[in-house]
């Protein structure tokens, strides 16, 4: 029982709207980062996403489908983040460092999800079901400020690193960030390793999102756990 009573389909859409938006965003987000710049696009994604998180309880009370649409928009915004990070790795890290540091950064996303699952119940018990929305939304503000101050699209655009470091990175990473390359779509779409990577990524994402959306229902309806448990 709770404040809202929905059928199974509506519950599924409420839980999966963000994931659907994220899948859609992955198709174009890297290209958008190339055109508009990673710093601005990802930075304002954090800020706008935080504002939408704070407003989602209000949207939910207006109409559940308004909440679902906003969740879809939030997913579209979230889908920009990981491709943006990948572009920063290419522009800032030497090739022999990318795999190790990228694994570390992307693992933090999984760790953050686990922490959220463990703490959300306590936050809800203390502040109501709206608590996690406000908590996540407020966290976006210091993250946005830190991001805009610390992150730059490339070493050439960073105003606070030394000329020695800029020269070292320029000599070890051969990328001209002033040029937006034309994507070789034919070669991409006819490349077998590309489709193998897509298939594996879709399988992993499907498992992750299924667990994230269906696990709460399983814990409450099958195992009869309370929200605090």
Q: Are 68 and 6 in contact (CB under 8 A)?
A: no
Which pTM value belongs to this model? 0.79
Task: For the chain, list residues with pLDDT below 70.
Answer: 1-2, 174-181, 212, 228-229
CA dihedral over 171, 100, 87, 192, signed as positive or negative:
positive
- Contacts for 159 with CB less than 8 Å, ≥ 6 apart: 152
Task: Give the tens place of pLDDT for each residue, 71-101.
Answer: 999 989 988 988 888 888 888 888 788 878 8
CATH superfamily of the domain spanning 8-222: MFS general substrate transporter like domains (1.20.1250.20)
> Where in the chain are the domains?
8-222
């Amino acid at each position: 029982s709770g404040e809202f009573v929905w059928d199974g389909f509506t519950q599924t859409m409420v839980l999966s709207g963000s994931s659907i938006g994220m899948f859609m965003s992955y198709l174009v987000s890297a290209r958008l980062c190339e055109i508009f710049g990673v710093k601005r696009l990802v930075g304002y994604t954090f800020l706008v996403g935080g504002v939408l998180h704070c407003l989602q309880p209000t949207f939910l009370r207006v109409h559940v489908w308004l909440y679902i649409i906003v969740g879809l928009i939030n997913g579209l915004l979230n889908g920009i983040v990981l491709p943006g990070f990948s572009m920063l790795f290419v522009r800032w890290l030497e090739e022999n460092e990318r795999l190790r540091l990228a694994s570390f950064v992307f693992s933090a996303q999984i760790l953050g999800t686990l922490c959220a699952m463990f703490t959300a119940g306590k936050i809800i018990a203390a502040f109501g079901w709206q608590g996690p929305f406000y908590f996540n939304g407020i966290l976006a503000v210091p993250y946005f400020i830190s991001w805009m101050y610390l992150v730059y699209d490339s070493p050439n655009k960073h105003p606070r690193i030394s000329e020695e470091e800029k020269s070292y990175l320029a000599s070890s990473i051969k990328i001209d960030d002033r040029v937006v390359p034309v994507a070789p779509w034919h070669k991409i779409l006819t490349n077998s390793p590309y489709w193998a990577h897509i298939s594996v990524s879709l399988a992993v994402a499907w498992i992750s999102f299924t667990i994230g959306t269906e696990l709460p229902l399983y814990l409450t309806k099958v195992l009869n756990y309370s929200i605090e448990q």
